Amino acid sequence: MKMLKATLREITKDLKLDIKAFDVPYERIEPNLLLDLNRYNSKSTISEHISKVDWNHPMKKEIEKQFAKELQEKLCVILPYLEKNSDSRLNLLLKFQGPFCKVEILKTHKHLLRKEKGIYLFYNKKTLEPLYVGLTTTLGYMRFMSYFSITTGNCMYNGQGTTVRVNHCINEFLNQGNSIGLAIIPMSNSSKEDIYKEERRLITKFIDNKSFWNINR
């Protein structure tokens, strides 16, 4: 924690928070990226994909119907094929295809975060208005990091819907000429329950902001 405080700039007052927050600088951002389905190497079949989890999405039956003859096709084969042929059935397997952005955090800062967990925020660098609040209860701020590089697996209907949506929000925000800020609130000595409570408190605090990205709150 001492090293973290000595390296990252505290922005508690800037964000008008009552709990210590630190800015996480990034090396660069690549906007407007699309999925490269030709590089997706999943060997799972369509049938295996939709049965991996207890997935009650209404799209499941539609997929079984539309791909009745191709249920045993591997995803690494069928996805590029559908894209190449402009087959609308691709939208049944992929919830979203982009555009996305890729954020590169400085390696030294990734190293610093490896022993930390807690709350993270995305904010407008110009207005300092918080845009999104999330939490990570695993060391290394792994949930925080997951937003910064989107994979094809994330975009499948049983993938990481929130990760995909927020990354797309960041990309659109950048396309509007804005600058994104990243911040963390370290809570390495706190329980999961306390971290969840703090996230809920902050979401409630910013819930009326028009540009706030949290949903189902």
User: Which residues lie closer than 8 Å to 99 by C-beta, 6 or more apart?
Assistant: 31, 32, 33, 34, 168, 171
Residue 180 pLDDT > 90, yes or no?
yes
User: Which residues lie closer than 8 Å to 14 by C-beta, 6 or more apart?
Assistant: 128
Mean pLDDT of the chain: 90
**CATH code 3.40.1440 for 2-34+98-206:** yes
**Which of 3-12, 16-25, 162-171 has the lowest average pLDDT?**
3-12
Reported as a pLDDT band with limits 50, 70 and 90, residue 216 is low
Position of tokens 């804005």? 178
Residue 76 pLDDT > 70, yes or no?
yes
* DSSP label of 156: B
Average pLDDT over residues 51-70: 81
At 2 the pLDDT is: 66
Residue 174 pLDDT > 80, yes or no?
yes
Helix (H) or strand (E) holding 164: helix 161-175
Average pLDDT over residues 3-11: 81
Bigger pLDDT: 108 or 186? 186
At 5 the pLDDT is: 67
Ranges for all domains in the chain classified under CATH 3.40.1440: 2-34+98-206
Which of 168, 162, 118, 137 is CA-nearest to residue 17? 118
At 60 the pLDDT is: 84
At 16 the pLDDT is: 92
> Do the beta carbons of residue 153 and residue 94 sit within 8 Å?
no
At 51 the pLDDT is: 83
